[in-house]
Amino acid sequence: MNIEDIDHIYRDGRQYDRLFGEPNMPFWIDIIGACCAPVLELGCGTGKVTIPVAEAGYETVGIDLSSEAMLE
């Protein structure tokens, strides 16, 4: 398998989210609460972890190398 075989997954954020499902947010919030903020999420993709973490009140920054379609 090469990158061209899976590249299409990263061109549509909605499809990516459907393929990989919902994150276990209680787990992530517990981990973050036990550590400290701010939070830096590398490879944040569509933000399906980054956004709920920020909404939970943690200072959060997410970065991703993916296309604009993922970040939208």
Number of domains in the chain: 1
Counts of helices then strands in the chain (DSSP H, E): 5, 2
Q: pLDDT, tens digit, for every residue of 30-54?
A: 999 998 779 999 988 889 999 999 9
| Global confidence as pTM | 0.76
Across the range 49-69, mean pLDDT stands at 88
Pairing relationship of beta strands 39-42 and 60-63 according to DSSP bridges: parallel
User: Helix, strand, or coil here: 54?
Assistant: helix
Name the residue range of residue 48's domain: 3-71
- Residue 67's pLDDT is what? 64
- Residue 13's pLDDT is what? 80
